[in-house]
Amino acid sequence: VQTVYPFGGSAAHDDPRQGDKTITGGKGANLAEMASIGLPVPPGFTITTEECVAYLQDGAEFSDALREAVTGAIGHIEKAVGKKFGDASDPMLVSVRSGARVSMPGMMDTVLNLGLNDATVEGLAATSGDERFAWDSYRRFIQMYSDVVLGLDHGLFEEALEICKEDNGYYADTELSAEEWKALVTEFKGIVEAEWGKPFPQDVTEQLWGAIRAVFDSWDSDRAKVYRRLNDIPGDWGTAVNVQAMVFGNMGDTSATGVAFTRDPATGERAYYGEYLINAQGEDVVAGIRTPQYLTKAAREAAGAKPLSMEEAMPDAYGELARVFDLLEGHYKDMQDIEFTVERGKLWMLQTRSGKRTAKAALKMAVDMEAEGLITQEEAVRRVDPMALDQLLHPTLDPEAERHVLGSGLPASPGAAAGKIVLDADTAEQWVARGEKVILVRVETSPEDIHGMHAAQGILTARGGMTSHAAVVARGMGRPCVSGASALSIDRASRTLRIGNHELKEGDEITLDGANGQIMLGIVPTVEPELAGDFGTLMVWADALRRMKVRTNAETPADCKMARQFGAEGIGLCRTEHMFFDAGRIKAVRQMILAEEDTARKAALDILLPEQRADFTAIFEVMAGLPCTIRLLDPPLHEFLPTQDADFEELSDVTGLGVDHLKRRAAELHEFNPMLGHRGCRLGITFPEIYEMQARAIFEAVCDVKASSGEAPLPEIMIPLVATRKELAILKALVDQVAKEVFAEMGTSVEYLVGTMIELPRAALMAGEIAKEGAFFSFGTNDLTQTTLGVSRDDSAKFLAPYVEKGIFARDPFVSLDVEGVGQLVELAAERGRVTRPNIKLGICGEHGGDPASIAFCEKVGLDYVSASPYRVPIARLAAAQATL
């Protein structure tokens, strides 16, 4: 196999390895490809990544094969340009460029103008007829080579140049004369000798191998290693090296260099976008020494800028560039990010790659390119990162608005929210009831804060990570959230808080940016998301491709409406406990669980029944005609227990029981490990009245909705935390009994299903048996992850981050399903369930239902649907479509 691949000139470009980025790197593969389709690419060659790996393994030795191949490839360039490397009368110069498989900051910077020395610089001056240009190039070469190859302090060279400019009263580098550059070259060589201990290398072959060595070595530099670790890039890829004939953008006013995008990477607009500089070389554009100019006349005029655009200043070269843009888009079928140089009016292409873009631009380009016939609908669907939609679906801060940033925390749930600070959930609810907008600010949140979180525009916490209660619940509700803002301290007594040095009080206005974690003073204006247009078009295509249905996790009519707007096709999880925590009802709930006799419990349940029925009626009205999975009460009783004296006194008043008595009863119900305690179906088994009441509320509500609207939803009653067939059998019988009673009482009947959540490893293993009772399984992967890993989600923040850093888990298993481990249980349960009941309905309702990687897994094991929080529904629709491609 070849170690070196020539490109441009008479090169063949016919070896498939040359087009393989893993062999020739991104830059090398694309240079060869551009040359092969006839674009003007300066000739050169690429040393393969394999040679880099071999060099690093062999203790920094070049193989003989490589030395020979490079000599031959230099000959290829010489032939193509008609000059000789190191020829004092007419020298060929090259650039040496690194180029890994993916673009990688931290790799060696490019060395330009290699091949210049005290003799060849004279030849360059003579053949170009431009002495100033030749000496400018030589000084650039010494500067770059000393910096990136010899590792000398570049500040010394910049300082010498600055002093020269100051002495002469110059502003720009372009003002220096040939004589002045010549003098500076002498000075630069002096610096090299003083710092490096040897004179600047004059032998061009030594220069070349020095640069190749520097590229190879830079693969193992600290900078590159850090970047690789942060971006999951394996250390054994190595980098390619590209050696390429120089073309000169610094040959006066008919020469230039620039960078461009074939479409606007911020908006996706089909307009060339970029910058260029006349009489300059590569690094000048980004170095910020001179202000780059606009590419197009339109962009220049829009910006009200004076210096001529490339379109105006060099119309011929610009016309050629525009032609190349179209060719490249037609060839790569994607927006390209390009580097080019114009030498005395002639355009040369130096790089192309698929350009990075914002979410908005990605969407627009995908839809536009389909309309242009460039790509298929399938490809358009594939192009857009589902997670990027997250940025687009929430109201976001007006980018033009001013921000007074007080501090920041973790971007726990996206979107922007503004309102008055409130310090507890009840206050939040009260203020919202009188028409205010509020931000709930807590040290951390707990299930008792749910009603306040719901009422608030956004949530800010001092503690907790990306999977804390606040973060998970906020994402579920689509509320923006900033969590773990360590600079935040709250003084409950004085109802004030501090963020860094800023003192604020309850009622003061703040704004949160859930996309970057910023906390801002005052109300920053927002802009609404655009759900029609390109977004709508792409979603239609995605829906046509996907097999799985997409439902939502929702428990309020408002969330259900929102989810349906986002395209939800049913409810995958309606939790009923949030309804129990509601401020007005918690008293009756407590009365119920602290009751010692059935009659007292029934009395409390009689208060709750009409309220639950009203909850369900409101939801079913929104979801008429669609399947709705409703989970009967699940959380540990423990969580409902009163803790404050005032709560006990209040309860004592309504129950007539003494405070001490109630406290004793509460103490009896206290649990050491509530997550594994008296919860889920265990509640239904021990307090059947609770589930009876809930089932009754559901059936009465469905019958009511059916009567009033003519269309009933399909209730799927879900029994949580089942481990055995028997549990489900008992509770299913109970639900069926209630259904029979209600249907008889109301003189009507509706279809319904009873099924279970699979969230315990035993349930997954026993799925074949459990399916004999249950008509559906919903994988509760939050609990299934907790119980399979033996990890408590609420306590995992402290060790999961280091676990992910050390690579023990590739990703947080509560964010992205542990497909290898927990996934086996899901797959096995699905299989065993289907054996017993071929038409069993299978879905997922954990947080994972909104995570693209987990959704791909659900498609693989053939689930019928995924369920995600309302704002994640579009993400799930797109991800479910991509999973089929």
The verdict on whether residue 780 carries a ligand-binding annotation is: yes
* Closest distance to Mg ion from the beta carbon of 792 (Å): 13
DSSP 8-class letter at 177: -
* Closest distance to ligand ADP from the beta carbon of 239 (Å): 11
Q: Is residue 850 within the footprint of ligand ADP (CB under 6 A)?
A: no
Q: How far apart are the first and last CA of the chain?
A: 34
Task: List the one residue from 95, 250, 336, 788 that touches ligand ADP (CB under 6 A).
Answer: 95
* Closest distance to Mg ion from the beta carbon of 720 (Å): 6
Q: Is residue 859 within the footprint of Mg ion (CB under 5 A)?
A: no
Q: Is residue 336 within the footprint of ligand ADP (CB under 6 A)?
A: no
Contact track, ligand ADP, 814-833, x by CB under 6 A: --------------------
Distance CA(841)–CA(835), nearest Å, equals: 13
The strand pair at 753-758 and 627-631 is best described as unpaired
The strand pair at 509-513 and 518-521 is best described as antiparallel
Q: Say which residue the tokens 């190191």 belong to.
A: 86
The verdict on whether residue 782 carries a ligand-binding annotation is: yes
Q: Is residue 31 within the footprint of ligand ADP (CB under 6 A)?
A: no
The verdict on whether residue 575 carries a ligand-binding annotation is: yes
Q: Is residue 110 within the footprint of ligand ADP (CB under 6 A)?
A: yes
- 308 by DSSP, 3-state: which? coil
Which amino acid, residue 687?
A: F
The verdict on whether residue 48 carries a ligand-binding annotation is: no
Write the secondary structure of 730-796 as one string of H (helix), E (strand) and C (coil): HHHHHHHHHHHHHHHHHCCCCCCEEEEEECCHHHHHCHHHHCCCCCEEEECHHHHHHHHHCCCHHHC
Count of residues that bind ligand ADP according to CB under 6 A: 15
Residues from 216 through 235 that contact ligand ADP (CB under 6 A): none
Q: Is residue 339 within the footprint of ligand ADP (CB under 6 A)?
A: yes
Distance CA(716)–CA(777), nearest Å, equals: 10
Q: Within 10 A of 799 (CB to CB), how many other CB atoms are there?
A: 11
Closest-by-Cβ residue to ligand ADP is 282
Distance CA(585)–CA(610), nearest Å, equals: 11
Q: Is residue 257 within the footprint of ligand ADP (CB under 6 A)?
A: yes
Residues from 33 through 52 that contact ligand ADP (CB under 6 A): 42
Backbone angles phi, psi at 269, to 5 degrees: -55, 140
Size of the chain, expressed as the number of residues it contains: 885
Binding site partner of 224, from Mg ion, ligand ADP, none, Cβ cut-off 5-8 A by kind: none
Distance CA(231)–CA(142), nearest Å, equals: 33
Decide whether 32 or 440 has the Cβ nearer to Mg ion: 32
Q: Is residue 351 within the footprint of Mg ion (CB under 5 A)?
A: yes
DSSP 8-class letter at 871: G
Binding site partner of 781, from Mg ion, ligand ADP, none, Cβ cut-off 5-8 A by kind: none
- 337 by DSSP, 3-state: which? strand
* Closest distance to ligand ADP from the beta carbon of 171 (Å): 23
Q: Is residue 350 within the footprint of ligand ADP (CB under 6 A)?
A: yes
Decide whether 245 or 754 has the Cβ nearer to ligand ADP: 245
Question: What contacts 571, CB < 8 A, 6 or more positions away?
Answer: 551, 552, 553, 554, 560, 563, 619, 623, 626, 627, 628, 629, 630, 867
Task: List the one residue from 282, 355, 415, 680 that touches ligand ADP (CB under 6 A).
Answer: 282
Q: Is residue 244 within the footprint of Mg ion (CB under 5 A)?
A: no
* Closest distance to ligand ADP from the beta carbon of 348 (Å): 7
Q: C-alpha 564: how far from its chain's center?
A: 24
Stretch in the footprint of Mg ion (CB under 5 A) among 155-163, 343-351, 446-454, 518-526: 343-351
Residues from 724 through 783 that contact Mg ion (CB under 5 A): 759, 780, 783
Binding site partner of 97, from ligand ADP, Mg ion, none, Cβ cut-off 5-8 A by kind: ligand ADP
* Closest distance to ligand ADP from the beta carbon of 242 (Å): 7
Task: List the one residue from 77, 112, 142, 619 that touches ligand ADP (CB under 6 A).
Answer: 112
Active site residues: 469, 845
The verdict on whether residue 584 carries a ligand-binding annotation is: no
Distance CA(529)–CA(139), nearest Å, equals: 52
Q: Is residue 341 within the footprint of ligand ADP (CB under 6 A)?
A: yes
Decide whether 339 or 851 has the Cβ nearer to ligand ADP: 339
Q: What angle do CA 306, 310, 245 make, to 5 degrees?
A: 135
Q: Is residue 247 within the footprint of ligand ADP (CB under 6 A)?
A: yes
Contact track, Mg ion, 779-818, x by CB under 5 A: -x--x-----------------------------------
Helix or strand run (H / E) with residue 338: strand 336-343
Q: Which residues of 427-450 are buried (b: 16+ CB within 10 A; e: fewer)?
A: bbbbbbeeeebbbbbbeebebbbb
Residues from 116 through 155 that contact Mg ion (CB under 5 A): none
Stretch in the footprint of ligand ADP (CB under 6 A) among 245-253, 394-402, 622-630, 828-836: 245-253
Decide whether 342 or 605 has the Cβ nearer to ligand ADP: 342
Distance CA(754)–CA(743), nearest Å, equals: 16
Distance CA(392)–CA(872), nearest Å, equals: 11
Q: What angle do CA 844, 847, 848 make, to 5 degrees?
A: 60
Listed residue (624, 474, 616) closest to 564, CA to CA: 624
CA atoms within 13 A on the CB side of 291: 6
* Closest distance to Mg ion from the beta carbon of 822 (Å): 13
Decide whether 256 or 423 has the Cβ nearer to ligand ADP: 256
* Closest distance to Mg ion from the beta carbon of 351 (Å): 5
Distance CA(420)–CA(850), nearest Å, equals: 30
* Closest distance to ligand ADP from the beta carbon of 282 (Å): 3
Binding site partner of 476, from Mg ion, ligand ADP, none, Cβ cut-off 5-8 A by kind: none
Decide whether 121 or 573 has the Cβ nearer to Mg ion: 573
Stretch in the footprint of Mg ion (CB under 5 A) among 337-345, 353-361, 395-403, 537-545: 337-345
Q: Within 10 A of 828 (CB to CB), how many other CB atoms are there?
A: 15
Decide whether 110 or 396 has the Cβ nearer to ligand ADP: 110
Decide whether 288 or 399 has the Cβ nearer to Mg ion: 288
Q: Is residue 383 within the footprint of ligand ADP (CB under 6 A)?
A: no
Q: Is residue 275 within the footprint of Mg ion (CB under 5 A)?
A: no
Contact predicate 151/222, CB 8 Å: no
Contact predicate 514/415, CB 8 Å: yes
> Which two tokens mark 298?
């339109």
Stretch in the footprint of Mg ion (CB under 5 A) among 181-189, 206-214, 333-341, 462-470: 333-341
The strand pair at 416-422 and 438-442 is best described as parallel
Alpha carbon separation from 261 to 39, 246, 321, 849 (Å, rounded): 17, 23, 11, 36
Q: Is residue 136 within the footprint of ligand ADP (CB under 6 A)?
A: no
Decide whether 86 or 780 has the Cβ nearer to Mg ion: 780
Q: Is residue 18 within the footprint of ligand ADP (CB under 6 A)?
A: no
Question: What contacts 124, CB < 8 A, 6 or more positions away?
Answer: 91, 93, 116, 133, 134, 137, 138
* Closest distance to Mg ion from the beta carbon of 760 (Å): 9
Backbone angles phi, psi at 281, to 5 degrees: -115, 155
Task: List the one residue from 70, 149, 204, 246 that touches ligand ADP (CB under 6 A).
Answer: 246
Distance CA(776)–CA(767), nearest Å, equals: 11
Distance CA(885)–CA(880), nearest Å, equals: 9
The strand pair at 336-343 and 346-354 is best described as antiparallel
* Closest distance to ligand ADP from the beta carbon of 97 (Å): 3
Annotated binding site for substrate: 575, 631, 759, 780-783
Q: Which chain residues interact with Mg ion by CB under 5 A?
A: 339, 351, 759, 780, 783
Annotated binding site for Mg(2+): 759, 783
Annotated binding site: 575, 631, 759, 780-783
Q: Which chain residues interact with ligand ADP by CB under 6 A?
A: 42, 95, 97, 110, 112, 244-247, 257, 282, 339, 341, 350-351
